[in-house]
């Protein structure tokens, strides 16, 4: 036994990385922060000391790395990082028995993240605002994030001020900030119903900080300017706290890829459409039916479409596609379907498509496991999967954005009834 080692201390060679970016040793031991081919020493308390570093190790650029849970891979070289992240998707497909070609990882970080959720908690009588520590409930207070787009400048200070306005509620808060064309847009969750004093404070802070909009639990407290987002050349105002792709470049790349695949279709169903990031772009050249369970998002899409010129018809429906997927004759109305579900995926809708879907399905996903499951369902229903794109929108995290198309020979059907 080497000098200085006790019986509980051991050296370990790292063979691979797991889905969280942690090193995995030859005996299966998890070594956070370790990289393949490194030799590490595991201390009795679980601390990891790098004894022989990998040539793929680089210096992290953020002072919060290893404490803040947002990033998992700042210590990896660009090559190792791209291989690891692409490999996460490949492994999901292999486990689901989906044979597909996955292209190289595509960087769509662009100018950076345009939305973020901060957490505010009272700790030892003082307020702490920041991001969660990895796999813990502790808040790591932050002053800046190098992954933010320029539009989020001032978001941390503003979130801290808004949290102070609601301190009387004595509750933990989650504060979503979004960079918009009109300025910073905030939605606060956790305080419950606001009294008149809290509302006055939030309004005063919005004026002082020149915020576009402040809402609580989706209810607008003050809107000083419309928090517009450009979906292509159409301007929309998503609902407070509504879904938005994390980066502008990521949204643009997904929309461009989907449009290229859907080019020959006349009528398209955009399922899990949100506020219209794809539908409003596609409506320049196609007739669209847009469906989502979020009534506020559908209303935002309709307002944006009504204010725009030169769009084809967009039929809209508020509908829970998890419980009531489009089926049979409804699907027969379309030459193609585009879907972009939440992380849980689109299992029910995929089964309906497998049974009665059109010749083309374009799938977008932010979760490799649910995407692979849904892909397997479509393939078993007669679709052939094309090349799969892995897009890196959430840089240095394990999250991969996915774009793929599925095709099968058209089957004669009666014209559908939706739209």
- Please report, for the chain, how many H helices and E strands are present, in that order: 9, 23
pLDDT confidence of residue 205: 98
Angstrom distances, CA of residue 132 to CA of 30, 67, 69, 231, 248: 21, 9, 6, 31, 24
Lowest mean pLDDT among 25-29, 77-81, 282-286: 25-29
Whether the domain at 10-57 and the domain at 115-229 fall into the same CATH topology: yes
Is 2.40.50.140 the CATH classification of the domain at 10-57? yes
43: its two tokens: 């201390």
Q: What's the confidence (pLDDT) of residue 418?
A: 44
Given the residues 68, 71, 145, 366, select the one marked as catalytic: 366
State the pLDDT at residue 218: 96
pLDDT at 410 over 80: no
Mean pLDDT of 376-403: 97
Q: What is the pLDDT of residues 155-172, one digit of tens each?
A: 999 999 999 999 877 899
Mean pLDDT of the chain: 94
DSSP 34: -
Residue 366 annotated in active site: yes
Token pair 């080497």 is found at 2
Beta-strand relationship, 336-339 and 219-223: unpaired
- Name the 3-class secondary structure at 282: helix
The Cα-based distances of 157 to 25, 70, 154, 162, 400 in angstroms read: 41, 19, 6, 9, 29
Distance CA 119, CA 189 (A): 10
- Mean pLDDT, to the nearest integer, of 149-156? 98
Tell me what the mean pLDDT of segment 71-98 comes to: 98
DSSP 73: -
- Which residues on neighbouring strands pair with residue 65, listed in sequence order? 68
Of 260, 284, 272, nearest to 389 (Cα)? 260
pTM beyond 0.75: the answer is yes
The domain limits of the chain are 10-57, 87-109+247-407, 115-229
In this predicted structure, the answer to whether residue 419 has a pLDDT above a threshold of 70 is no
Name the nearest CA neighbour of 409 among 376, 382, 375: 382
Which of 96, 55, 105 lies closest to 371 in space, CA to CA? 96
Separation between Cα atoms, residue 75 and residue 23, nearest integer Å = 12
Percent of the chain with pLDDT over 90: 90
Mean pLDDT of 343-356: 97
Give me the mean pLDDT over the 290-297 stretch.
98
What average pLDDT does this structure show over 119-124?
Answer: 89
pLDDT digits (tens, 9 = 90+) for 221-262: 999 999 999 999 999 999 999 999 999 999 999 999 999 999
pLDDT of residue 7: 54
Task: Say if residue 217's pLDDT is above 90.
Answer: yes
CA torsion, ordered 262, 268, 271, 276, to nearest 10 deg: 80
Q: Which of 295, 293, 260, 298 is nearest to 276 (CA)?
A: 298
Question: What would be the CATH architecture of the domain defined by 87-109+247-407?
Answer: 3-Layer(aba) Sandwich (3.40)
Strand partners, 188: 175, 216
127 — pLDDT class (breaks 50, 70, 90): confident
pLDDT of residue 3: 47
Say what the pLDDT of residue 135 is.
Answer: 75
Instruction: Flag whether pLDDT at 1 surpasses 60.
Output: no
Instruction: Answer yes or no: are the C-beta atoms of 286 and 353 closer than 8 Å.
Output: no
- Average pLDDT of span 5-9: 64
CATH class of 115-229: mainly beta
């Amino acid at each position: 036994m080497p000098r200085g080692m006790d019986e509980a201390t051991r050296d370990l060679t790292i063979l691979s990385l797991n889905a969280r970016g942690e090193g995995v040793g030859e005996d299966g031991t998890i070594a956070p922060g370790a990289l393949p081919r490194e030799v590490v020493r595991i201390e009795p308390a679980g601390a990891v000391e790098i004894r022989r570093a990998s040539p793929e190790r680089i210096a992290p650029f953020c002072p919060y790395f290893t404490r803040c849970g947002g990033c998992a891979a700042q210590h990896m070289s660009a090559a190792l990082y791209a291989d690891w992240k692409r490999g996460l998707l490949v492994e999901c497909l292999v486990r689901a028995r989906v044979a597909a070609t996955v292209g190289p990882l595509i960087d769509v970080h662009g100018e950076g993240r345009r939305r973020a959720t901060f957490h505010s908690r009272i700790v030892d009588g003082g307020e702490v605002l920041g991001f969660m520590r990895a796999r813990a409930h502790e808040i790591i207070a932050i002053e800046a994030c190098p992954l933010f787009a320029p539009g989020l400048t001032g978001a941390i200070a503003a979130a801290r001020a808004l949290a102070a306005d609601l301190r009387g509620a004595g509750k933990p808060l989650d504060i979503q900030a979004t960079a918009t064309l009109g300025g910073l847009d905030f939605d606060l969750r956790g305080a419950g119903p606001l009294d008149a004093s809290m509302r006055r404070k939030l309004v005063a802070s919005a004026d002082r900080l020149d915020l576009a909009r402040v809402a609580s639990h989706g209810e607008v407290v003050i809107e000083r300017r419309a928090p517009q987002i450009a979906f292509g050349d159409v301007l929309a105002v998503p609902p407070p706290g509504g879904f938005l792709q994390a980066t502008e470049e990521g949204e643009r790349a997904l929309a461009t890829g989907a449009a290229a695949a859907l080019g020959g279709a006349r009528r398209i169903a955009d399922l899990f459409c949100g506020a219209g990031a794809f539908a409003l772009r596609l409506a320049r050249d196609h007739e669209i039916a847009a469906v989502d369970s979020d009534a506020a998002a559908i209303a935002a899409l309709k307002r944006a479409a009504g204010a725009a010129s030169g769009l084809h018809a967009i039929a809209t429906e508020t509908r829970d596609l998890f419980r009531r997927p489009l089926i049979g004759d409804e699907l027969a109305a379309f030459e193609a379907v585009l879907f972009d579900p939440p992380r849980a995926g689109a299992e029910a809708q995929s089964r309906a498509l497998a049974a009665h879907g059109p010749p083309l399905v374009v799938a977008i996903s932010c979760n490799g496991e649910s995407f692979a499951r849904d892909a397997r369902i479509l393939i078993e229903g007669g679709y052939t999967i094309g090349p799969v794109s892995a897009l890196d929108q959430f840089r240095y995290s394990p999250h991969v954005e996915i774009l793929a198309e599925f095709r099968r020979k058209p089957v004669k059907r009666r014209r559908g009834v939706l739209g």
